[in-house]
Amino acid sequence: MREPAAALLDARVETYLGHLSVERRLSANTIENYRRDLQALTAWMAEAGLAGFKDLIGEHVRSFVAAEHRRGLSPKSLQRRLSALRSFFRYLLRNGELPGNPAQGLRAPKAPRKLPQVLDADEMTRLVEVPTEGPLGLRDRAMLELFYSSGLRLSELCALRWGELDLLQCLVSVTGKGNKGRIVPVGSHAVTALSEWKDASAPKPDAPVFPGRGGAPISSRAVQLRIRQLAQQQGIWKRVHPHLLRHSFASHVLESSGDLRGVQELLGHADIATTQIYTHLDFQHLAKVYDSAHPRARRKP
């Protein structure tokens, strides 16, 4: 059984989680993550002898984050934990339960940024040229070609309706993160594949381009599983998933054009810093070419 002080702290956290569920309608998984992060704080506070959140100051939160770091939490987990704390403290501030935000200005350790894996041009060609025979063949080819042609997010592809595709002008209109719309070119191979799929399925203008059961838009999970199956069928044994196709699209366009701003617009990134990761991929490729080609530049392993 938890100490009375810890139980009171946890009860306040549960009230906040109820607010997230009812007022902000966050998913059960997100709320469970918040619960885990905030209960770690309340446990630390009970051990430190802090009876209420109003007693917290910046030094306490800094000590809590340091203790979690020593306990083995990764920088990425610490960033998420600190984000949950900030959100909770803002809620308490609005309700007059804190004199200030004790997490203000506090930063978690930086997590090393992993470079995304990509498929090379040959692998991408092999993947998108799946056989079109069978009941799902035309759909699969259209799906893969559109992913690679236009760099769509998985959610954007699943939600796409025929009325948002202009196959004559070779354009697609999508709504991305933050409800922001953008218009993206569609390549000739994708237009051909989509036209063949449209002729075969004879859809209404407001129908999903890729329907699932009952005519509703196909689920994200169904697309993920299908792409994994198709990759293995085509002899590609990397971990292939929809976002890998988006990474490959961005890397290949940047490698050919060198236009970082253009790639940012195509991907729908709000911040160009998000797009800059593809410049690192491009440099890695150039460095490999340089090391293998220049007789006096090969680095020692």
CA gap 81, 40 in Å, rounded = 9
- The answer to whether residue 252 is catalytic is no
CA gap 169, 92 in Å, rounded = 52
- The answer to whether residue 62 is catalytic is no
CB 155, CB 220: distance < 8 Å: yes
- Bridge partners of 211? 217
Spot the catalytic one: 153, 226, 247, 252. Answer: 153
- The answer to whether residue 221 is catalytic is no
Pairing verdict, β 181-185 and 165-166? unpaired
Q: What length does the chain have?
A: 301
- The answer to whether residue 246 is catalytic is yes
Which ranges of the chain would DSSP assign to H, the alpha helix? 4-22, 28-48, 58-70, 75-94, 121-128, 137-150, 154-159, 188-201, 220-233, 242-257, 260-267, 272-275, 277-293
Tokens at 275, concatenated: 């797009």
Spot the catalytic one: 16, 34, 148, 278. Answer: 278
Spot the catalytic one: 80, 139, 141, 246. Answer: 246
- The answer to whether residue 177 is catalytic is yes
Q: Which amino acid is at 73?
A: L
| Cβ-based neighbour number of residue 247 at 10 Å | 21
Residue 274 has, within 13 A of its CA and on its CB side, a CA count of 10
Spot the catalytic one: 19, 204, 243, 298. Answer: 243
The C-alpha angle with vertex 221 and arms to 215 and 222, in degrees rounded to 5, equals: 50
Spot the catalytic one: 177, 180, 204, 298. Answer: 177
CB 130, CB 141: distance < 8 Å: yes
Active site members? 153, 177, 243, 246, 269, 278
